[in-house]
Amino acid sequence: MNQRVGWKGRTLAALMLLLLVPRSGWTQGAQSARFWDEIAFWGEFIYTLRTWEKAVWTVTPWIRTDEQELNSGTMTRVTTEATIQLSDSWDIRNRFFVIGRNDEAADRYVIDERIQILLRKRFFRFWDDKIRFRGGFFYERHFRGDAIPDFNVYRTRLELRADGIRHEPWVQQDFFFDHARAFFRTRTRAGVLWNFSGNRQVRLAYQFQYTQDRAGDWGPQHSVVFRYWFGSTLSWRDIN
């Protein structure tokens, strides 16, 4: 058990160093070419730190090769979150982000922070209880490290997902709103989840989002989303 915890701890520490990736010369060189403007890669690695009967606590290092609106090429972040199952159909997630990125407009390295709360409900199940449809509402507070003042973002989510089979198809749709622009982004994801022994899970999806920047211009972005979950039964089955 101690060896397993030690291995996970060392791996997590290495992944958290991703927060420093935007400082590297490799990233600065890649920004000039912006190869990933057409297809970005979003990767995340989720570690379950602790579970209770109705709650799970995780930490997640992320990396994104391109991020709309943030004046950034490669962006990395580390999040910690607690998700609590309120009832059979309701749950709530509380998340804190630390984001590291190069602000290309100001030509400097920036640290952003963010708080996010998601209240989610499963509306119904069908097809022998194997397909579930649920929706959620997000509140986000963005603490920006650049010249843009802090602001709130609100978004809604609709999700259709299969359960109880090895390859789980799922579809997710988000709509984003803020005070300055009202509706400013739509994000669609469609993919498959693979469940493995040891309560591990891999998610692979295609993502399309369409965003209005602060100048009022709209632009598309295509991404490949990859998630690897070092999970527990509660975290990836009943709550995630």
pLDDT of residue 239: 66
Count of C-beta atoms within a 10 Å radius of residue 189: 19
pLDDT of residue 192: 92
Q: Cβ(95)–Cβ(113) under 8 Å?
A: no
Alpha carbon 91 to its chain centroid, in Å, reads 17
Q: Residue 119: CB partners within 8 Å, gap ≥ 6?
A: 90, 92, 136, 137
Distance CA 113, CA 141 (A): 9
pLDDT of residue 230: 83
Distance CA 155, CA 36 (A): 26
- Looking at the structure of the chain, the number of domains it has is 1
Count of C-beta atoms within a 10 Å radius of residue 199: 16
pLDDT of residue 157: 97
Q: Which residues pair with 126 in a beta bridge?
A: 131
pLDDT averaged over consecutive 10-residue blocks of the chain (240 residues)? 50 54 42 55 91 90 80 82 92 94 78 96 81 94 89 96 77 95 96 83 93 88 92 64
Q: Which residues pair with 231 in a beta bridge?
A: none
pLDDT of residue 70: 64
Query: Can you give the residue range of the structural domain that contains 195?
Result: 2-239
Tokens of 227: 């998630």
Alpha carbon 6 to its chain centroid, in Å, reads 26
Q: What CATH number is associated with residue 213?
A: 2.40.128
Distance CA 23, CA 28 (A): 8
